[in-house]
Structure 1
């Protein structure tokens, strides 16, 4: 039997035998209506093709149920992983996520923020572009709606959820020092605060372990193409003076992927077993790190907690704003977990 079609909320409300405000209340939150009414609406939905115009309904409210999610790039699986979890958490709470990437470009980050403001989102969860951001861009957003940052903090005080880089890098350095030769740190371009924090923790932990830190800065122009940068940096190291040590700790997994590829191309055997030429470790537990050859030893960020905590803080700030309560500038730093695999 063909399902019935309805042209408007009013028409569908009449078919359900409920008022338009009651139907709107159901779509906002089904638990807000009586069980008998909810069952009547849901029975009618099963027999129809009716879908509410969410955007039109939101325009009629003081505040929409839309939440902006802005990241530097959608090509990095780490952001894909966290944003997916954020999206599912928001949808479960009755909010509609609007995801935008600025593709690592400051002009597109500014355009994305203008778009979110035009869509009248109730709040936003943002991974700031970092060093390349225009100073006033994020400030413009925070002047209008509640904002929570994740992965990298803003250049001014905002709620933030991210990784404890001091803890995670220290754990990796201690493991590498105690399981073999102390590590050399392969730096990435400092596109945001994470890289600087990780290098600082590396230096401090090496000294604490009784070793002289050795940092090799990335010599290629700044870019978010970390795999390419890691490959080119490793090639340069091997051609110039050879390996500075038998253990390399890369500032992130994507850089490690490139370094591993260059080492393999040069005929080096990567791993912690007998006959291996170099150990390579990374940071982040990128979704592909377990599938490299050999699988990459790394520090696993708590992506699930980053996502759920970011959503929790943002929705609390939205409620505080609606109720006229002062908003707290929460800062939640989460520990990472050492994942030992065959590469180091």
Structure 2
């Protein structure tokens, strides 16, 4: 039986039924994969008469096998969880991840990018601050190294972006809250650190309009990454003054919602959707702690694993081919509604 000519490693991985990172790992060092996997790869090489593009594989030999990973704040469990998954994807493909936290500081983000440059990474995965990022510093890295952004986007900087479809996810939550009780107010920070907050506000406005409901937005004073403290202080102030128009509050992110749950407890308010409850509270992100709050938080789950794997695979494709993507790729994954006791 004759087979059509296999043009690249991606096609070889597909026909051989072996993951592309594992195939690349074999070509870099056959001894780095299990004997059974090595036997399968070598049988497929013989079967399909495939020869890898040595030029593409050696294109970046002047760089290291290091992958730079920069996140805004590793103290935030959302970023620590997604960074953990990105690290594992890098290791599985035979790369060495270098993880850096910007500790909530845009200036530190710039310093992290400068430090990575001196290490000559094979590529960089960056979860940027967004509007607060030093765009010139990010562009400089993008000019010299393959760069993939994840979680937050910055215009057309970098060769790819991977994140969550905020319009879809917020609409999913608004639809549920309207259907199951009173329509939600929206609680956010006045000066949000993450640009996703602005997209979620607009998604809330659009969704409320589609449902024929009047939107109601409340903005908390405060800035930075102390979301729980801001949620408790400002949320408590709004709750105690009975400022919310309905008994349902959708918070821009889970950490604000966790702070509001604490404020409700202090005020003696019962949170939930059953008879006798005073208020419903919902969030967004499926923060690792959200299932352990009291009551457990209704939220939107972001697909951590899909985002991490796609971000790395976009970067890996450039490393494998030895060239940039022909067109900037943008991928967003849908959120999933997680109904718990808080709403």
User: How would you bin the TM-score normalised by the shorter chain?
Assistant: 0.7 to 0.9
For residues 177 and 243 of structure 2, the distance between their equivalents in structure 1, rounded to whole angstroms, comes to 20
For residues 262 and 242 of structure 1, the distance between their equivalents in structure 2, rounded to whole angstroms, comes to 14
- Offset at residue 136 of structure 1 (A): 1.1
| Cα displacement string for residues 15-47 of structure 1 (whole angstroms, at most 9, x for unaligned residues) | xxxxxxxxxx98942258997xx99xxxxxxxx
Contact conserved, 1:317 with 1:328, CA < 8 A, in 2?
Answer: no
- 1:89-168 correspondence to structure 2 within 5 Å: 89-158=89-158, 159-168=160-169
Instruction: Give the aligned partner of residue 64 of structure 1.
Output: 64
- Offset at residue 156 of structure 1 (A): 3.1
Count residues with an aligned counterpart: 295
Instruction: Give the aligned partner of residue 212 of structure 2.
Output: 210
| Cα displacement string for residues 123-143 of structure 1 (whole angstroms, at most 9, x for unaligned residues) | 011000122212312111111
- Offset at residue 109 of structure 1 (A): 0.8
Q: Which has the higher contact order (CA 8 A, sep 6+)?
A: 2
Give the one of 190, 199, 216 matched to 1:197. 199
Answer with 1 or 2: which has the greater Rg.
1
- 1:186-335 correspondence to structure 2 within 5 Å: 186-188=187-189, 189-220=191-222, 222-320=223-321, 322=322, 324=323, 327-335=326-334
SS in structure 2 of the partner of residue 217 of structure 1 = strand
For residues 210 and 32 of structure 1, the distance between their equivalents in structure 2, rounded to whole angstroms, comes to 59
For residues 148 and 326 of structure 1, the distance between their equivalents in structure 2, rounded to whole angstroms, comes to 11
Contact conserved, 2:192 with 2:224, CA < 8 A, in 1?
Answer: no
For residues 200 and 259 of structure 1, the distance between their equivalents in structure 2, rounded to whole angstroms, comes to 22
- Offset at residue 173 of structure 1 (A): 0.2
188-197 or 244-253, larger mean C-alpha shift: 188-197
- Offset at residue 329 of structure 1 (A): 1.1
Which residues of structure 1 form unaligned runs of 5+? 1-24, 40-59
TM-score (norm 1): 0.81
Which residues of structure 2 form unaligned runs of 5+? 1-24, 40-59
TM-score (norm 2): 0.81
For residues 143 and 266 of structure 1, the distance between their equivalents in structure 2, rounded to whole angstroms, comes to 53
- Offset at residue 192 of structure 1 (A): 2.7
